[in-house]
């Protein structure tokens, strides 16, 4: 069971929202679609969900075009949060479940489980509009996968959630993955993507900059991020061989290297045979790669 | 349960419990009750009017006393002739007016003396009594026999109609036209109110789903076309429910109140108008509502949030008001060109055509033609709306109606 996008393009009269996009998501995988606002993430989702037509290219699920499949295998959490304001939480979940072809009896088990898991037990009989924003989002999230879809799309699922709820959501996503659900999600918050995704696609103004495994992406850049704790000044550090950039953070200084092979000599120079409190060489964080790829400061998070 | 019926059920269940629906239904029942019990209510409201005492002083030689008989809330005092006494009574408000009748060159002259001016109603009633007396007096002056006098006073022209055009059906009698006019008025008002209620209901329903962004969640599992149809069917079902409730209340009233007098009266009206009229009226009622629902659904899909609903509803509302007023002009004269023109325009024909069928001599072709135009418009509107809806329902835009349509076309082609 795979989702495959081949040469998918969406053109409007005066601009191209998505340009020749290609990627494949395998069964049971978590795939991240990352990009700035207006990069074409939501348009891509809408095309996968057959809410919008493609201008060119094909999208297939298990070899079948997406507009021919039974829509109940899909689940979708839209970026704009939306539920029926005057409907009770529980009724809402039953409604969306039944709409997806589930029986009331099966649904009861699922609803009880997820309501309990997302700590919504007390809000069960409340109207959705009386809930806090975070709770509304949890209700909508449950509604998006209450019918146990084979393929779930989450558009910015983490935005607006506090750290506790973020963890609840992460656990839920991992649980769904265990149950065999294929998940495609978008996020501005790279730490979430980094933690959850196996594969990802980086979009910039409709064009894919990278598509593949997270590790491959990191390997492209190599281990060039060096965090140290030292008394050396920024100027001194910049003068070192192979140092591209220096950034002073609260408890450490981060050096960006041209290549990981410079690390050895830098270590020798900084420690000078003595004890050194911190010297840590690692891959770039996804955040840093993202900024580098899409062009620095203009990233909206 | 299919997705269509699930969506329809959800809409129906949420709306039937809504305050606006319950209140509107209650209001209709109230109006119906007032209509059925009108005579009792009238008695209650107007019954305590004081009987007006009016003194008549006859200065002529003729005996006119038999003409001044108590009627309505007017009583005549004819035995007291002392003006002084009467004027005192007038000041004490025991009398309402003193009418002095005298002869002026063979004509009757009446002088109405009051202490406080008469109310319009009493003025009119008194005038007509005096007019009648004047005619009597004039006849009496001709020294005719009482029989001759009676013949003149009761003279009436008997009118019957005969149509020499054998191809046409017989023209309707005046009574038939009158009851046709009244019933058409009721049908027109019903259509107008139903349209206003349910047009705005479907528009706000779709606009609110769009505004609350529940739409995207829905459209992932339901095709836009199914959503569109389910919304129309749901609101139509609500309209039918409301009509059903009103009809049921009416039947209960008709059967059990006043020994079925209302039932008999309704039966007579239907008989006078023929079953054909009733079928036409019902067809026009349903088809017009259906047409407006289709348009309403399309409008709802254009706006981005509920607050903008009024903006797109305005043009449709204005059209219904125009139709309504055209129908009102028909109450005075249903044979004008204005009525004829509007009885073919699909958005107003539902209000205007039943009036033409009921109150004018109209052939078989015209109503059928108008109905045909209406059905054709519904089909065209439906097909167009369905395809446009798919494109507009997920497009969010700002600006006026035209701007919104432009945006939809721009981002979906």
A136-189 pLDDT tens trace: 888 988 999 999 899 999 988 888 788 888 888 899 999 999 998 999 999 877
Q: Is the pLDDT of residue B167 over 60?
A: no
Dihedral pair phi/psi, residue A45, rounded to 5° = -60, -45
Looking at chain A, the whole-number percentage of residues with pLDDT higher than 70 is 98
CA distance B53 to B98: 9
Domains of chain B: 3-33+172-412 (no CATH), 51-153 (3.40.190.10)
Q: Is the pLDDT of residue B175 over 90?
A: no
Gap from A66 CA to chain B (nearest CA, Å): 12
Which pLDDT value is given to residue B413?
A: 64
Asked if B118 and B99 count as a contact pair (C-beta separation under 8 A), the reply is no
User: Looking at the structure, do residues A165 and A53 belong to the same domain, yes or no?
Assistant: yes
Residue A43 belongs to domain with CATH number? 3.40.50.300
For residue range B299-347, list pLDDT tens digits in order.
998 888 888 888 888 888 899 999 999 988 888 888 889 989 999 999 9
User: Looking at the structure, do residues A228 and A102 belong to the same domain, yes or no?
Assistant: no
Q: How confident is the model at residue A297 (pLDDT cuts 50, 70, 90)?
A: very low
Last residue of a domain, one of A212, A235, A254: A212
Nearest CB partner across the interface for B212, out of A46, A82, A99: A82
Mutate which: A43, A51, A85, vs B, most B CBs within 10 A: A51
For residue range B123-164, list pLDDT tens digits in order.
888 888 888 888 888 877 777 777 787 787 777 787 776 766
CA distance A114 to A94: 12
Which pLDDT value is given to residue B229?
A: 94
Which pLDDT value is given to residue B239?
A: 92
User: Looking at the structure, do residues A148 and A242 belong to the same domain, yes or no?
Assistant: no
More confident residue, A126 or B49: A126
User: Looking at the structure, do residues A243 and A189 belong to the same domain, yes or no?
Assistant: no
User: Looking at the structure, do residues A146 and A284 belong to the same domain, yes or no?
Assistant: no
For the ranges B272-276, B366-370, B402-406, the maximum mean pLDDT occurs at: B366-370
Which pLDDT value is given to residue B169?
A: 55
Would A231 be classed as within a structural domain?
Answer: yes
Query: Which residue from A minimizes the CA distance to B213?
Result: A82
Dihedral pair phi/psi, residue A162, rounded to 5° = -80, 165
Q: Where are the alpha helices (DSSP H) in chain A?
A: 41-48, 89-99, 104-117, 133-145, 163-178, 190-196, 214-221, 234-238, 263-271, 286-294
Would A23 be classed as within a structural domain?
Answer: yes
CA distance A135 to A22: 35
Asked if A173 and A30 count as a contact pair (C-beta separation under 8 A), the reply is yes
Residue A184's domain spans which residues?
3-212
Q: How confident is the model at residue A301 (pLDDT cuts 50, 70, 90)?
A: very low
Q: What value does the mean pLDDT of chain B take?
A: 84
**Nearest CA-CA partner of A222 in A242, A240, A203:** A242
Q: Is the pLDDT of residue A300 over 60?
A: no
**Nearest CA-CA partner of B281 in B194, B367, B199:** B367
Would A301 be classed as within a structural domain?
Answer: no
Q: Is the pLDDT of residue B261 over 80?
A: no
The angle subtended at Cα B77 by Cα B73 and Cα B82, nearest 5°, is 145
**Helix, strand, or coil (residue A69):** coil
User: Looking at the structure, do residues A195 and A76 belong to the same domain, yes or no?
Assistant: yes
Q: How confident is the model at residue A298 (pLDDT cuts 50, 70, 90)?
A: very low
Which tokens go with A238?
A: 């910049």
Cβ pair A84:B3 closer than 8 A: no
Last residue of a domain, one of A191, A212, A233: A212
Q: Is the pLDDT of residue B38 over 50?
A: yes
Neighbours of A238 (CB within 10 A): 13
Cβ pair A52:B394 closer than 8 A: yes
Q: Is the pLDDT of residue B270 over 70?
A: yes
Q: What value does the mean pLDDT of chain A take?
A: 86
Q: Is the pLDDT of residue B380 over 90?
A: yes
Would A217 be classed as within a structural domain?
Answer: no
Would A190 be classed as within a structural domain?
Answer: yes
Q: Is the pLDDT of residue B379 over 90?
A: yes
Residue A264 belongs to domain with CATH number? 3.30.70
Would A155 be classed as within a structural domain?
Answer: yes
Nearest CB partner across the interface for A96, out of B217, B412, B413: B217
Cβ pair A83:B212 closer than 8 A: yes
What residue has token string 């418009």? B377
User: Looking at the structure, do residues A194 and A228 belong to the same domain, yes or no?
Assistant: no
For residue range B53-106, list pLDDT tens digits in order.
888 888 887 777 777 877 777 888 877 777 888 888 888 878 888 888 888 887
More confident residue, A19 or B168: A19
First to last CA, chain A: 33
Which pLDDT value is given to residue A181?
A: 92
Q: Is the pLDDT of residue A211 over 60?
A: yes
User: Looking at the structure, do residues A149 and A266 belong to the same domain, yes or no?
Assistant: no
**Helix, strand, or coil (residue B105):** coil
Residues of chain B in contact with residue A140, where contact means CB-CB under 8 angstroms, are 217
Last residue of a domain, one of A182, A212, A242: A212
User: Looking at the structure, do residues A154 and A246 belong to the same domain, yes or no?
Assistant: no
Which pLDDT value is given to residue B23?
A: 92
Query: Which residue from B minimizes the CA distance to A52?
Result: B412
Would A29 be classed as within a structural domain?
Answer: yes
User: Looking at the structure, do residues A182 and A283 belong to the same domain, yes or no?
Assistant: no
For the ranges A234-243, B218-227, B368-377, the maximum mean pLDDT occurs at: B368-377
Q: What average pLDDT does this structure show over B401-405?
A: 80
Gap from A53 CA to chain B (nearest CA, Å): 8
Would A86 be classed as within a structural domain?
Answer: yes
Number of domains present in the structure of chain A = 2
**Nearest CA-CA partner of B262 in B25, B70, B39:** B39
Which pLDDT value is given to residue B203?
A: 92
DSSP notation for B49-77:
PPPEEEEEEE-SSS--GGG---BTTEEEE
Which pLDDT value is given to residue B171?
A: 65
Distances from the Cα of A180 to the Cα of A142, A148, A177, B280, angstroms = 17, 10, 5, 60
Nearest CB partner across the interface for A99, out of B209, B216, B222: B222
Neighbours of B156 (CB within 10 A): 5
Predicted-complex ipTM score: 0.80
User: Looking at the structure, do residues A82 and A23 belong to the same domain, yes or no?
Assistant: yes
User: Looking at the structure, do residues A231 and A163 belong to the same domain, yes or no?
Assistant: no
Q: What average pLDDT does this structure show over A58-70?
A: 87
């Amino acid at each position: 069971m795979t989702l495959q996008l081949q040469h998918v393009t969406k053109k409007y009269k005066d601009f191209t929202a998505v340009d020749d996009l290609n990627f494949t998501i395998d069964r049971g995988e978590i795939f991240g679609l990352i990009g700035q606002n207006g990069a074409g993430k939501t348009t891509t989702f809408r095309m996968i969900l057959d809410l919008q037509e493609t201008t060119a290219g094909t999208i297939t699920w298990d070899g079948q075009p997406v507009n021919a499949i039974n829509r109940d295998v899909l689940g979708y959490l839209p970026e704009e949060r939306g539920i029926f304001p005057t409907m009770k939480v529980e009724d809402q979940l039953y409604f969306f479940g039944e709409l997806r072809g589930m029986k009331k009896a099966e649904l009861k088990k699922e609803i009880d489980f997820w309501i309990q898991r997302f700590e919504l037990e007390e809000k069960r009989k409340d109207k959705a509009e009386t809930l806090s924003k975070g709770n509304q989002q949890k209700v909508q999230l449950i509604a998006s996968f209450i019918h146990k879809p084979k393929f779930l799309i989450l558009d910015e699922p983490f935005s607006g959630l506090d750290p506790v709820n973020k963890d609840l959501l992460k656990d839920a996503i991992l649980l769904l993955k265990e149950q065999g659900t294929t998940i495609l999600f978008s996020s501005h918050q790279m730490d979430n993507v980094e933690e959850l995704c196996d594969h990802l696609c980086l979009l910039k103004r409709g064009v894919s900059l990278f598509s593949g495994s997270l590790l491959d992406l990191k390997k492209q850049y190599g281990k060039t991020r060096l965090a140290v704790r030292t008394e050396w000044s920024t100027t001194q550090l910049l003068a070192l061989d192979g140092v591209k950039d220096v950034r002073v953070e609260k408890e450490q200084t981060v050096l960006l290297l041209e290549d990981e092979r410079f690390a050895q000599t830098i270590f020798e120079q900084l420690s000078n045979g003595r004890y050194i409190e911190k010297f840590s060489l690692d891959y770039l964080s996804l955040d840093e790669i993202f900024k580098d790829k899409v062009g620095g400061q203009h990233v909206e998070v | 349960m299919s997705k269509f019926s699930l969506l329809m059920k959800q809409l129906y269940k949420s709306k039937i419990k809504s305050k606006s629906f319950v209140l509107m239904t209650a209001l209709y029942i109230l109006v119906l009750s007032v209509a059925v019990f009108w005579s009792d209510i009238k008695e209650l409201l107007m019954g305590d009017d004081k009987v007006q005492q009016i003194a008549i002083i006859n200065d002529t030689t003729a005996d006119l006393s038999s003409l001044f008989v108590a009627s309505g809330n007017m009583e005549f005092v004819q035995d007291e002739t002392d003006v002084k006494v009467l004027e005192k009574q007038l000041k004490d408000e025991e009398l309402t007016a003193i009418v002095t009748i005298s002869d002026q060159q063979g004509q009757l002259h009446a002088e109405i003396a009051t202490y406080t001016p008469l109310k319009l109603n009493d003025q009119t009633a008194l005038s007509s009594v005096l007019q009648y007396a004047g005619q009597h007096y004039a006849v009496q002056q001709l020294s005719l026999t009482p029989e001759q006098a009676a013949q003149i006073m009761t003279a009436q022209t008997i009118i019957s109609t005969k149509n020499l055009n054998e191809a046409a059906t017989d023209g309707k009698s005046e009574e038939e036209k009158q009851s046709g006019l009244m019933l058409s008025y009721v049908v027109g008002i019903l259509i107008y109110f139903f349209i206003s209620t349910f047009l705005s209901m479907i528009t706000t329903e779709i606009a609110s789903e769009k505004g609350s962004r529940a739409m995207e969640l829905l459209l992932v599992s339901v095709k836009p076309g199914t959503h569109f149809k389910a919304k129309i069917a749901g609101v139509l079902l609500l309209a039918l429910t409301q009509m059903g409730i009103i009809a049921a209340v009416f039947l209960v009233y008709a059967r059990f109140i006043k020994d079925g007098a209302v039932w008999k009266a309704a039966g007579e009206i239907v008989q006078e108008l023929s079953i054909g009229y009733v079928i036409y009226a019902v067809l026009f009622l349903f088809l017009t509502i259906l047409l407006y629902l289709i348009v309403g659904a399309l409008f709802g899909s254009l706006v981005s949030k509920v607050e903008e609903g009024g903006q797109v509803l305005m043009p449709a509302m204005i059209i219904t008001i125009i139709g309504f007023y055209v129908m009102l002009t028909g109450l005075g004269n249903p044979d004008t060109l204005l009525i004829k023109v509007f009885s073919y325009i699909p958005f107003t024909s539902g209000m205007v055509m039943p009036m033409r069928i009921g109150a004018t001599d109209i052939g078989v072709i015209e109503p059928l033609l108008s109905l045909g135009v209406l059905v054709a418009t519904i089909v065209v509107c439906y097909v167009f709306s369905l395809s446009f809806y798919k494109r507009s329902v997920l497009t969010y835009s700002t600006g006026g109606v035209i701007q919104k349509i432009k945006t939809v076309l721009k981002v979906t082609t």
